[in-house]
Chains A and B, each alone.
Chain A
Amino acid sequence: MLFLALAVTLAACPLAAPLSRLVGRQAGAVLALPLLLSAALLLAGGSPHAVVEQWLPWMPSLGVGLGLRLDGLGLVFSLLVLVVGAGVMLYSTRYLGRERTASFYVLMTAFAAAMLLLVLSDDLVVMFVAWEATTFCSFFLIARSGEGAREPAIRTLLVTAAGGLSLLAAVVVMIVVTGTTRLSEVLAHPVWGSDAAFTVLVAVLLAVAAFTKSAQFPFQSWLPDSMVAITPVSTYLHAAAMVKAGIYLLLRFSPALADVAVWNVLLVSCGLTTALLGAVSALRRHDLKELLAYSTMSQLGLLVAMIGVGTPAALTAAVVHTVAHAVFKSALFMLVGVVDHEAGTRDMRRLAGMRLRMPATAAAMGLAAASMAGVPLLLGFISKESMFAALIESPWGPGLAALMTAAAALTSVFTVAYSARLVLGAFSGRGDRLVREASPLFWGVPALAAAASLALGAYPAPLDAGIGGAASVAAGSEQEVHLALWHGLNAELAVSAVVIALGVALVLGRRRVDVVLAPLRSPVSGLGVVDALRAGLIRGGGVVGGWSGSTSPRRHLAVPAVCLALIALVGLPGLGELPPVAGDRSRPWDWALVALLAAGVIAAVRVRTRIAAVVVTGVVGFSMMLWFFVLGAVDVAVTQLLVEVLTVCVMVLLLKRLPARFARQTLRRRIPAAVIALAAGLATALGVWALTGRRGLSPAAEYYLREGYEATGGSNIVNTILVDFRALDTLGELTVLGVAGVAIVALLRARPLAASREVDRVTGSPLEDAWQNGAFLRTATRVIGPIIVVMSVVLLFRGHYEPGGGFIAALVGGAGFALLYLAAPRDHRARIRWPYLLLIGLGVVLGTGTGLLGYLEGSFLKPLGTEVLGVSLSTPLLFDVGVYLAVIGVILASLNKLGRDDPDPAAEPPQDPDAGDAADAPGRRPHTPHYHPTHREVKTR
Chain B
Amino acid sequence: MTVAITAGLLVAGAVYLFMQKEMLRVILGFILLGHAGNMILLAAGGTSRREEPFGAPGDLSAVADPLPQAFVLTAIVIAFSITIFMLVLAVTGREGDDATDGSPEERTEDAR
Contacts and interface: CB of A to CB of B under 8 A. Distances in A.
B91 A631 contact: no
B86 to A, nearest CB: 10
B87 A730 contact: no
A419 interface: no
Contact of A715 (B8, B56, B63): B56
A497 interface: no
Contacts of A552: 21, 99-101, 103, 106
B12 A680 contact: yes
Interface stretch (A53-61, A187-195, A717-725): A717-725
A621 B83 CA distance: 13
Contact of A751 (B9, B44, B93): B93
A620 B66 contact: no
A651 B53 CA distance: 34
A680 B11 contact: yes
Interface in A544-558: 550-555, 557-558
Given A636-B69, A715-B54, A688 B43 contact: yes
Contact of A561 (B15, B24, B45): B15
A627 to B, nearest CB: 7
A733 B77 contact: yes
B84 A890 contact: yes
Interface in A650-709: 650-651, 654, 657-659, 662-663, 665-666, 668-669, 672-674, 676-678, 680-689, 692-693, 695-698, 700-702, 704-706, 708-709
A394 interface: no
Contact of A631 (B8, B47, B97): B47
A807 interface: yes
A605 B66 CA distance: 33
Given A624-B38, A722-B73, A678 B46 contact: no
A627 B18 contact: no
From A550, A697, A701, residue with most partner B Cβ within 10 Å: A701
A845 to B, nearest CB: 18
A266 interface: no
Interface string A246-258: 0000000000000
A614 to B, nearest CB: 8
Contacts of B42: 628, 631, 633, 636
Given A643-B80, A706-B57, A730-B74, A688 B92 contact: no
A582 interface: yes
A448 interface: no
B84 to A, nearest CB: 5
Contacts of B3: 585-586, 590, 688, 692-693
A636 B73 contact: yes
A632 interface: yes
Contact of A627 (B16, B39, B57, B77): B39
Contact of A604 (B13, B50, B88): B13
B81 to A, nearest CB: 4
Interface stretch (A12-20, A325-333, A741-749, A828-836): A741-749
A695 to B, nearest CB: 7
B13 A601 contact: yes
A597 B32 CA distance: 11
A597 B9 contact: yes
Contact of B22 (A550, A662, A708): A662
A710 B57 CA distance: 9
Contacts of B76: 636, 639-640, 643
**Looking at chain B's contact residues, is the secondary structure mostly helix, strand, loop, or mixed?**
helix
A373 interface: no
Contact of B69 (A555, A582, A635): A635
A676 B18 CA distance: 10
Nearest to B98: A663
Interface in A469-522: none
Contacts of B43: 688, 692-693
Nearest to B16: A677
A583 B46 contact: yes
A736 interface: yes
Contact of B53 (A666, A698, A717): A717
Contacts of B88: 744, 747-748, 894, 897-898
A673 B21 CA distance: 11
B62 to A, nearest CB: 9
A802 B28 CA distance: 32
Given A586-B2, A740-B84, A662 B25 contact: yes
A567 to B, nearest CB: 13
A668 B24 contact: no
B87 A673 contact: no
Contacts of B2: 585-587, 590-591, 593-594
Interface residues of A, number: 122
A255 to B, nearest CB: 54
Contacts of A620: 10, 13, 31-32, 35
A908 interface: no
A676 B31 contact: no
A700 B73 CA distance: 18
A260 to B, nearest CB: 52
Contacts of B28: 604, 613-614, 617
Contacts of A752: 92
Contacts of A241: none
A630 interface: yes
Nearest to B58: A705
B70 A718 contact: yes
Contact of B73 (A698, A753, A807): A807
Nearest to B112: A668
Given A613-B28, A663-B98, A677 B45 contact: no
A584 B48 contact: yes
A871 interface: no
A598 interface: yes
A743 B79 CA distance: 15
A197 interface: no
Contacts of B40: 684, 687-688, 692
Contacts of B17: 604-605
B53 A718 contact: yes
Contacts of B63: 632, 697, 705
B24 to A, nearest CB: 6
A693 B10 contact: no
B46 A748 contact: no
B73 A684 contact: no
Given A604-B28, A617-B31, A705 B7 contact: no
B47 A550 contact: no
A796 interface: no
Given A631-B64, A632-B51, A693-B47, A613 B25 contact: yes
A628 B50 CA distance: 10
Contact of A705 (B36, B66, B72): B66
Contacts of B67: 698, 700-701, 704, 721
B110 A743 contact: no
A36 B51 CA distance: 73
A631 B77 contact: no
A231 interface: no
A935 to B, nearest CB: 24
A611 to B, nearest CB: 10
A737 B78 contact: yes
B73 A677 contact: no
A552 B80 CA distance: 23
A726 interface: yes
Given A657-B91, A684-B36, A702 B18 contact: no
Contacts of A681: 8-13, 15
B4 A553 contact: no
10 smallest CB-CB distances across A and B, nearest first, come from: A681-B12, A685-B8, A583-B48, A673-B19, A590-B2, A632-B64, A677-B16, A601-B13, A689-B4, A740-B81
14 contacts: A552-B106, A554-B18, A554-B21, A558-B19, A561-B15, A601-B32, A617-B32, A628-B42, A635-B69, A668-B109, A722-B70, A729-B74, A751-B92, A752-B92
Given A678-B12, A685-B5, 6 more contacts: A658-B91, A662-B20, A668-B109, A693-B48, A702-B60, A722-B73
